Structure 1
């Protein structure tokens, strides 16, 4: 029987020096193509496999150029993360400074935009290239607590020798992704970093909890914005006959008249006044409102076909849906669950029932309630392009799926059995080698 992955957090809490030695042995064995006496954790093993396939050199400390100060400033001003800095500071900095950690906030591209905390640790971070404007994408600097959460879209703690690049192996970092509650889009990562001996086993849960508090704050701010739009739209809608909606720039609905309430409608990439076609409404007249748009349905039935539906999973961490039609196109960043479901539908164009999809996702055909709820959410933005009984994409719609060059990089955040079968494990193809 193979040895189970090591509980790194527990070992580090007991003896940091021993943890560093064991992790170094695991790393050296994996990079040499040997079987380690203790296997790396799955999230680390999969990341190392991506690094070797993309050509990252474990012995070379590569650093891309720092962003100029004015570009860092511009990104800060445009990032929704600026609204949650007080939440992140309150939740992380008071402890981080005392415990000799630093807090790092990076954008969705892995660029460091904010960095605060213990001064000695900040100086050590400078030596690692962990500076303002630095690029800490996984495929640039290897497995780390900023770039790896961007790819797998979940919190990750990287201890010492679990870093792919040798120069980072004295460092330990814990990062959690922050997503925009309006559209599920990744907007950045918050990370707590420092020497291995200062890390606690509870750091992962701590950082993840603060990231979730930041997302909750963004959700509150969005509700305030919708309330303002509702106040603007109310007197306008009161004068209209027929179906109409007031929506914000992301398609969230503030108010409706002449139709049942819906939470959100899918909008084109660049919406402008005039007539537009939307999957859930058909042909609409689009007019600007302060803080959003007024959509007036023309009374035509929603269209049942589109020129093309494109699902883009070509790069690790990318999950984009694009619908192209004669009236324009629109795109949406998919949640991990919606990406899984739509991928499974493209694998089964004749359709899948709720029990089939539950088996595909969870290995449990009884979890149909979860599947039906998620498919209902997908239909809110795909409209008649998504059919049911069984679930399938419209037969009249051309579908294109962009997949990664290496099947092992397919939806790396997914643990769904059906996706795993399409994504062979690195160990099934022999040891990873450079």
Structure 2
């Protein structure tokens, strides 16, 4: 059977009610497991499968309880997005208001922290439970413009019956994730939503552009903080002997002495003062600095050499918080991974004999010519995992035991990933 994949431009060109009826038929066939001549877009179909496998009722009331006002305020204070809220308001709120939309900003868990826009649309959103403090993650309400970008790490536009839950079919939304450039964490989603008839195919591009502006503002603030740290660290580094670095809490290097310059030092998840073992440098002494930390490499003359790492645990059980833990006689070290680094380490864990750059490019991008990208990412990985990652070919060292902790459901294995090797491990067709 020949199939046609729906796209946003085609849906936007149709009468809203006609498009809704078409999508409802596609959704009904997909949820029933029937083949259809018209199939959903890839990101929508994958989201529907995740919701189905979780047991979420597509026709039920899936609204969860609201956070208390005190908890909303606490999350707002701790959200990096609070720093760039003026940028988002200036760019989006007036446009959203004129277009009968609202702007919504969520945290990394899908909880709505800010919501502004046209009063009549705000009232309609209340009826859907789309209000401050609500949980709009995929696990709570299925496919939508907040929860789905949090899973995939990519912008998405969701129109009418592309929403998994039928009560949301009168709604359209476009959401883009925001990544903090300081540590690579996905910190939330900016979403523009409104009634069915307000859909426009350019909305997603607009929202994505604004989130890039927000990320750029965070990056500028980061550079300013590094400059302040560099100034504070200068007299300290003049006094210390040997190899030392001044780094911020995310490992970005403000100043260095006694060793070649480097852009970033991969720190453990919760670096503490005192002696800490780092796979890239060995045993180090860490002391607090205003706005960061002083990291001094302990000279081997001060004590016995650092024993080699013996065990690596790759934890993929939480889709948005993948991490790697390296341990040995000297202690253990845990670091959160970017989505791309989680993909690469998982493929290497499956192929202990090693993979060439071309093979990894095929595994991740389905394109063996993308070796430059692979080599750049592996170089970044080896800065923090030099003791356990070898190259030519890329592989885990032979004397290291590697353990992979997978999620309970195969569909939750790196759900953001489009890599063929990951799709095969989920049991899906790449």
Higher relative contact order (CA 8 A, sep 6+): 1
Residue 232 (structure 2) aligns with: 232
Secondary structure in 1 matching 2:404: strand
**Shift in Å at residue 33 of structure 1?**
2.6
Change (3 A) 1:203 1:372: same
On the 8 A contact 1:104/1:116 being kept in 2, the answer is yes
> Is 1:314 equivalent to 2:326 in the alignment?
no
Q: Distance in 2 between matches of 1:273 and 1:10?
A: 57
Secondary structure in 1 matching 2:4: coil
Residue 185 (structure 1) aligns with: 185
On the 8 A contact 1:358/1:368 being kept in 2, the answer is yes
1:359-390 per-residue CA deviation (whole Å, 9 max, x = no partner) reads: 22223322221111110111122222211111
On the 8 A contact 1:284/1:295 being kept in 2, the answer is yes
1:100-150 per-residue CA deviation (whole Å, 9 max, x = no partner) reads: 000100000100100001111111111111111111110111111111111
Structure 1 residues 374-385: aligned runs within 5 Å:
374-385=377-388
Change (3 A) 1:269 1:363: closer
Change (3 A) 1:304 1:202: farther
Deviates more, 1:169-178 or 1:295-304: 295-304
Residue 254 (structure 1) aligns with: 254
Deviates more, 1:393-402 or 1:39-48: 393-402
Change (3 A) 1:183 1:329: farther
1:409 to 403, 412, 425: 412
**Shift in Å at residue 395 of structure 1?**
2.3
2:427 to 405, 410, 424: 424
Residue 352 (structure 1) aligns with: 355
On the 8 A contact 2:325/2:334 being kept in 1, the answer is yes
Secondary structure in 1 matching 2:43: helix
On the 8 A contact 1:102/1:116 being kept in 2, the answer is yes
Q: Distance in 1 between matches of 2:309 and 2:261?
A: 24
Residue 373 (structure 2) aligns with: 370
Residue 345 (structure 2) aligns with: 342
Q: Distance in 2 between matches of 1:127 and 1:285?
A: 56
Unaligned runs of 5+ in 1: 429-434
> Is 1:163 equivalent to 2:167 in the alignment?
no
Residue 60 (structure 2) aligns with: 60
Secondary structure in 1 matching 2:65: coil
Give the TM-score normalised by structure 2.
Answer: 0.95
Report how many residues are paired: 427
**Shift in Å at residue 233 of structure 1?**
0.4
**Shift in Å at residue 202 of structure 1?**
0.7
Q: Distance in 2 between matches of 1:66 and 1:270?
A: 30
Structure 1 residues 111-126: aligned runs within 5 Å:
111-126=111-126
Deviates more, 1:392-401 or 1:67-76: 392-401
Secondary structure in 2 matching 1:384: coil
